[in-house]
Structures are given as structure tokens and as C-alpha cells.
Amino acid sequence: RMYRLYESKSLTAAYKKYRPTHPPELARFVVNKMRSKNKTDSSEKVDVGCGSGQATNIFAPYFKKVLATDPSVNQLEHARMQNKFDNVSYEEGTAENIKVEDCSLDLLVAGCALPYFDHPKFLQEADRVLKPGGYMALYGLQVPVLLQPDEVESIGTSIFKSYSKLCLDEFPDIQHLVVFWNTKYQTIFDAIKYEDKERKESFSLVKNSTMEDFLGFFRSTHAYEMYMKKQAVGLNNLSDKEQMEKLKQLDVAEHCADEVLSRCYYCSCATKPD
């Protein structure tokens, strides 16, 4: 089943603001692996479920032509506004119906939108569009973690647990997606039929951030937006007030303006047989 989420204007704006710039090391790892496998000239790449273009940007310098697709018109509007690459084009489309010719791609990439794809149809489509020896990279992002001081890190853990409970309690139809995230895409890795495949889990991006950035990650999720609409209350302000009160009680409010935020990535890669 395919899920059409992250398409409203409000959620698209939050996604663009609070979702991270992905680490360049991720693109370098994928491209180096791809070149070692098929000696390609890196001519054509497709990014499916591209959102507002964060991952497209780190891959663009390596390819002559990049097509980035997403079913959300609002996400694509933001992506086109920030695009600085002449070799990148953004088009409306889905991962289950990629508008390129058979056996035409050197690389197919999918990231944080992957949980919402129809996985059997996506893998079938990936096999259609990849060249013999073509490379597929499927990456994900763990929930960001606040590092130091201990009290603030504890609050971050509490927020994450509250969010996970919200997903499981309020949205039973997407409960399996939580399992998919928690297992770091293991099920789709197992479903890839290519024998030449591997997983890597050591990418990270550590930067100074604010508590607002951390909370913003959760506010940029579909589950949060749907819960807000369902409750029709000022949960946003209430959540801020509760968290700031905890910080005040712990006497670490002065640290709130500049915390260390760690984002960890994982990637599953596979090569189509010649």
C-alpha cells in the first residue's frame, strides 16, 4: 500500500524548515560504491520521494542528469525554489511508476519517504528502470538525539517516547511504519532479491541546534499534524510550555539556546545483476 502523506502546505513548510541537510558522506559512500560495482560514468540518477530536495542536493554534483520526483505538488514547489543545479529537474511522480525508460538508470535513490511506498511495486519498478549493474540506495534517518547536558538529553528521550506512543495509540493504520523505522528498513532489505547487497549504519550528522529545532522535527511529521487537527486544541503551545517548565525546574534553561543534536543515518544498497 502507498501512503499519500506530507502533502499539505503547512506540513510542507515545517518539513522544509526542520528536516535536516543530509551529510555529504552519505552521497560519497553511495557513489563510490556504485562506481566500484559497475564502473559507470554517473550519467543518470533518480531520487524518488524527494520531498523538498535535501538529499537531491548532495547527490547532484556527481551526475550529468538528476530527476527528482515526489507526489506532493507543495513539496516540489519548495524543492524548485531552492534548486541551484542546472542538471536537476523536479517532476510530480510516484516511486511505483517512475517515468523513465527501461534499463536507463545508473542509480536509484529513496530515503525518508521509503516507508510510505508500496514496497513490492517499488522494487519491481526499480528492477525495471535500473541498468544491468545499476545501483539502488535506500537510506533512512533515526530520530535526532539531544547530546548533553544529561538533563536536556533526558527531556529529549521523553519527547521521543511521547511521540512514539502518539503514533501507536492514535494511528493504528500506520503502526507498522513505526516498526519499519525501528528496524532500520530491515524488511525491505530482506525483500531485495539481488544477491549483491549490503547495509551500512554509521553515517552521522552532529551540529549545534536549539530545543526548537528538536521539537520542530516532530512537528514536521504527518502524525503530529493529524493529531493536532483531531484534538483541535493548542497542543503546540501546551507542549512548549510543558517542556520549558521542565527545563526551568531542572535549572538548565540557559542551555536551551544551543544544544548538540545528533542525527544518525543508515543505508541499504544493492546492485542489479548484469
Bridge-partner residues for 265, per DSSP? 141, 203
Bridge-partner residues for 109, per DSSP? 47, 137
Which residues have CB under 8 Å from 48's CB, separation 6+? Answer: 69, 70, 93, 94, 95, 98, 108, 109, 110, 113, 117, 122
| Cβ 171 vs Cβ 226: under 8 Å | yes
Inter-axis angle of helices 235-249 and 222-231, nearest 10: 110
> What's the rounded Cα separation, in Å, for the pair 34 and 13?
33
What pLDDT is attached to residue 101?
94
Give the count of beta carbons closer than 10 Å to the beta carbon of residue 34.
Answer: 23
Q: Considering the entire predicted model, what is its pTM?
A: 0.73
> What's the rounded Cα separation, in Å, for the pair 10 and 209?
22
Cβ-count burial of 142 within 10 angstroms (0-12 exposed, 13-18 middle, 19+ buried)? Answer: middle
> What's the rounded Cα separation, in Å, for the pair 75 and 49?
10
Strand ranges (E), 116-230: 130-141, 145-147, 197-209
| Cβ 100 vs Cβ 70: under 8 Å | no
Cell of 240: 512548549
What pLDDT is attached to residue 237?
55
What pLDDT is attached to residue 270?
96
What pLDDT is attached to residue 212?
67
| Cβ 262 vs Cβ 145: under 8 Å | yes
What pLDDT is attached to residue 36?
86
Q: H-helix or E-strand containing 264? A: strand 259-271
Give the count of beta carbons closer than 10 Å to the beta carbon of residue 93.
Answer: 20
Query: pLDDT tens, position by position, for the chain (274 residues)?
Result: 544 444 455 555 555 555 667 788 889 989 988 888 776 566 888 999 888 898 899 999 999 999 999 998 888 988 898 899 999 999 999 999 999 999 999 999 998 888 889 999 999 999 999 999 999 999 987 766 665 555 555 555 566 566 666 666 666 666 677 777 778 889 999 999 999 999 987 666 665 666 666 666 666 666 666 665 565 444 455 556 665 554 444 333 344 445 556 667 889 999 999 8
What pLDDT is attached to residue 233?
46
What pLDDT is attached to residue 264?
78
Q: Apex CA 225: angle with CA 265 and CA 231, to 5°?
A: 140
What pLDDT is attached to residue 158?
62
What pLDDT is attached to residue 182?
77
Domains annotated on the chain, with CATH: 9-271 (3.40.50.150)
What pLDDT is attached to residue 141?
79
